[in-house]
């Protein structure tokens, strides 16, 4: 039995996995609160994460009907790019700035200039640092809170912090580290010079966590935390990883030939690669995977956050929202939404705001606005998928995950816009499942059994044939025209 935890933006989810049968026995969850402010501030109190970790774990164990003593390992998935700073006593210095925080965008611009622009960043790190990456948050903290900055003893990503809470050990693995902006994805090493550039005292370099291979365990759970969670005190804690890396494992995307698309708070599209071939496109992040390879990825900043905003504006529940979308035709009768409520990463428009275009007296209605926000967010994913395809990524279908994937009408829109069949996994919590599978892999390695990740994946990941959705030829043709209109409008943003 293994516990998989996914600490995301909106909440924490937990699953209990029987790694022998491949069956998920129980699930639990808890909601997070967002601290929002002027200039793009998006932060969370890490105590929220610990509280929901306990709540979700207790609920998953209860639903599974097993004792926590049966849990042999824990894997943690975390939202990428976040910054958790600890002092020398292990106390958290301030709320964690998140992936969707753009308050430090000016600092990112200055660091990008230091690296020689996007081309220089790609050459040096293998990625082009973007607003929301961890590195700019460090420079922002130094300038906004110098006294607090002087107390930094450890700098951790969200999943690193949870592993530290569980084990008392500060570690990170290559996949999640790839999104910091101070990690070289080609050599799989920290880039110390950029941290020295931010602070010449060496404080940040000393605060870095130790790097682990994906199959290595961080350690054994601390006795006090094991008692608090009601978990086996001999349970190991795996290396874990970022939510996209764990989502890849949880969808069986651990070998070339698969594409995973996530319809969550953000939108992501990624594919496994066994070589670290860095794309010339700055918007393609050639992250490392948490399974021993690389994970070329694109990320949009606006997805269900934008669709939820429209849904809540009209006070619609999910069923009514989906019915409204279905009642509007392809192209929403000429209504086009550029849903850049948080700026945007793909397309690269960090300072953009949202727009609704093409309104007239005949098409201004609820249904068209609902369809336009779904189409607009999905166009951003198509824009990113085209970049991945240009870099050589190929797949016969797309494995769809995230809250939006539960909507049949949205699945059809995705299939038509991408001109590719889509299919969902049977479980809804791909990142938590991936974390549990990785925990089973790490446990096997620690026990000397060395069961392959591939074998575990084949046993634990299954696809839902009832969700398979194929593109409709006339829809594809219609969307080709609307997508070109979308691309043309980007020139003026």
**Contacts by 473-476, CB closer than 8 A, 24 or more apart:** 475/330, 475/412, 475/416, 476/416, 476/419
Cα(256)–Cα(126) distance, integer angstroms:
20
**Contacts by 115-121, CB closer than 8 A, 24 or more apart:** 115/194, 118/282, 119/282, 121/282
Q: Which of 6, 48, 101, 243 does the annotation list as catalytic?
A: 243
241 Ramachandran zone, left/alpha/beta (phi>0; psi -120 to 50): left
In terms of Cα–Cα distance, which of 380, 341, 348, 349 is closest to 486?
Answer: 380
Total residues found in the chain within this entry = 493
Cα(186)–Cα(305) distance, integer angstroms:
33
The tally of CA atoms less than 13 A away on the side-chain side of residue 397 is: 17
426 Ramachandran zone, left/alpha/beta (phi>0; psi -120 to 50): alpha
| Enclosing H/E stretch for 111 | helix 105-115
| Enclosing H/E stretch for 237 | strand 236-238
Active site residue 113: no
Output the CA angle 173-28-403, nearest 5 degrees.
Answer: 75
Cα(133)–Cα(125) distance, integer angstroms:
13
Residue 224 contacts by C-beta under 8 Å, 6 or more apart in sequence? none
Q: Measuring CA to CA, how many Å separate 257 from each of 61, 414, 445?
A: 35, 19, 26
Cα(224)–Cα(46) distance, integer angstroms:
19
Cβ neighbours of 113 (radius 10 Å) = 10
Cα(387)–Cα(145) distance, integer angstroms:
38
**CA gyration radius for the chain?**
22
Q: To the nearest 10°, the Cα dihedral for 124, 127, 129, 134? A: -100
Cα(489)–Cα(486) distance, integer angstroms:
5
In terms of Cα–Cα distance, which of 302, 457, 315, 326 is closest to 376?
Answer: 302
CB–CB of 426/463 below 8 Å?
yes
Q: Reduce the DSSP state of residue 440 to 3 states and report it.
A: helix
Annotated catalytic residues are 243
């Amino acid at each position: 039995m293994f516990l998989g935890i996914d600490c995301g933006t909106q909440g924490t989810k937990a699953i209990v996995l029987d790694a022998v049968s491949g069956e998920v026995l129980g699930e639990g969850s808890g909601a997070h609160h967002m601290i929002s402010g002027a200039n793009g501030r998006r932060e969370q109190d890490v105590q929220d994460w610990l509280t929901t970790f306990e709540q979700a774990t207790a609920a998953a164990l209860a639903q599974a009907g097993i004792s926590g003593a049966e849990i042999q390992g824990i894997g943690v998935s975390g939202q990428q790019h976040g910054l958790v700073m600890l002092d020398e006593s292990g106390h958290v210095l301030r709320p964690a700035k998140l992936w969707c925080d753009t308050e430090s965008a000016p600092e990112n611009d200055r660091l990008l200039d230091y690296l020689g622009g996007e081309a220089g960043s790609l050459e040096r790190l293998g990625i082009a640092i973007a607003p929301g990456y961890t590195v700019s948050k460090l420079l922002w903290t130094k300038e906004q809170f110098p006294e607090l900055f002087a107390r930094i003893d450890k700098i951790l990503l969200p999943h690193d912090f949870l592993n530290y809470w569980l084990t008392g050990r500060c570690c990170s693995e290559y996949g999640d580290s790839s999104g910091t902006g101070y990690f070289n994805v080609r050599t799989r090493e920290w880039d110390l010079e950029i941290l020295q550039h931010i602070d010449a005292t060496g404080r940040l370099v000393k605060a870095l966590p130790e790097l682990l291979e994906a199959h290595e365990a961080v350690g054994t759970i601390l006795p006090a935390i094991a008692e608090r969670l009601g978990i086996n005190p001999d349970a190991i804690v795996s290396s874990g990883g970022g939510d996209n890396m764990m989502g890849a494992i949880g969808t069986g995307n651990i070998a070339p030939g698969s594409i995973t698309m996530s319809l969550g708070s953000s939108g992501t599209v990624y594919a496994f690669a066994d070589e670290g071939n860095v794309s010339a496109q700055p918007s393609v992040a050639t992250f490392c995977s948490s399974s021993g390879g690389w994970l070329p990825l694109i990320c949009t900043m606006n997805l269900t956050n934008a669709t939820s905003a429209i849904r809540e504006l009209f006070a619609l529940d999910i069923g009514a929202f989906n019915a409204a979308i279905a009642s509007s035709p392809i192209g929403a009768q000429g209504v086009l939404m550029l849903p850049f409520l948080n700026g945007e990463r793909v397309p690269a428009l960090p300072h953009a705001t949202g727009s609704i275009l093409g309104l007239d007296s005949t098409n201004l209605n609820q249904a068209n606005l609902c369809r336009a926000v779904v189409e607009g967010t999905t166009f951003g994913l198509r824009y990113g998928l085209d970049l991945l395809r240009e870099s050589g990524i190929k797949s016969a279908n797309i494995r769809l995950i995230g809250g939006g994937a539960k909507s049949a009408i949205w699945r059809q829109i995705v299939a038509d816009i991408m001109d590719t069949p889509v299919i969902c996994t049977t479980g809804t919590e791909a990142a938590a499942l991936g974390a549990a599978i990785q925990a089973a892999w790490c446990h096997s390695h620690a026990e000397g059994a060395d069961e392959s990740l591939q074998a575990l994946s084949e046993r634990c990941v299954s696809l839902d044939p009832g969700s398979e959705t194929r593109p409709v030829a006339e829809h594809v043709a219609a969307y080709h025209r609307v997508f070109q209109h979308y691309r043309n409008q980007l020139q003026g943003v």
